[in-house]
Homo-oligomer: A and B are copies of this chain.
Amino acid sequence: MEHFSDRLLNAIGRKGSPACVGIDPVHERLPAELRRRVDGPRSALAAIAEYCSIVLDAVADAAAAVKFQSACFERYRDEGVETLYSLIADATDLGLLVILDAKRGDIGLSAEHYAAGVFQPWIDRDELAPRLAVPDAVTINGYLGADGIEPFCAGGRGAFVLVRTSNPGGDAIQQARLESGETVAEHVARVVDQLSRERLGDLGYSDLGAVVGATKRSEIGSLRAIMPKCIFLVPGYGAQGGSAEDVRACFNPDGRGAIITASRSVIFAYERDTEGPWADAIAEAAQRFAQEVGEVAAL
């Protein structure tokens, strides 16, 4: 299979925008017609599955990729995981690159198990139809070091290591300053940079990328300089407060090197834009978002 970074950058090129829509469904915020059918966890999961399927259709023209928040599905235990992989297949069929935001992190053999769980095709309960669709990349937590990272990069798949997260609470650890003068986040970035350079695709980028929050504008330039070969996966755009200006520094001078994620501001757009069908509100929000970040990348 083609190198992950080439597949991602080519998808961004085809769509003309580094836009990734985050699929973070919660049953409380579903459109009223779907929410009405919810009377327990199983019907909530069914409503979420129907909703996500329509969301994928609505964003497929505008977005280069989608990022599934694994937690939203794992809360429905094994049945949620089954639904998640069914939706990953739908997204793949629509030509979308798929990032699984699972933030896994373990050591050695356990990391290999997680990588197999995420990236190996599984077989259906009736043992007849193989379920071949798997994510193209996964997010991982690098606190356990290189032996927790390397098993996730193989066979044309990619991984994004959490370097600087978009939440306020992340500062307590990620902003602590080392003797060297660098922050912990910058130190993690150096570990990621070193691993990233061994695994470049034809377009010069690594299959090992970094998660860098859009809300951390003042730190992005430094992280970009430390990890020149890494594609940044940038959450925090839109609902969390990150703007087009904030994410400009995530891109290299070649206009590449970042994929920007908006989640709630797109997938719940019908909460603000209440005229017309809810799927149309999502499609329009996805188009606006893709245009905004497409213009940033082109500058």
Contact = CB atoms under 8 A, between A and B. Distances in A.
Contacts of A104: 71, 103
Interface in A49-90: 69, 71-72, 74-82, 85
A187 B145 CA distance: 17
Contacts of A11: none
Contacts of A145: 165, 167-174
A146 B165 CA distance: 13
Contacts of A147: 167-169
A85 B77 contact: yes
Contacts of A78: 78-79, 81-82, 85, 122
Interface stretch (A112-120, A265-273, A276-284): A112-120
A69 B141 CA distance: 17
Contacts of A187: 173, 176, 184
A148 B172 CA distance: 12
Contacts of A107: 165-167, 169-170
A201 interface: no
Contact of A103 (B106, B122, B176): B106
A32 B42 CA distance: 40
Contact of A71 (B82, B111, B142): B111
Nearest to A142: B173
Interface of A: 24, 26, 40-42, 69, 71-72, 74-82, 85, 103-111, 113-114, 116-117, 120, 122-123, 125, 127, 141-148, 162, 165-174, 176-179, 184, 187-188, 191
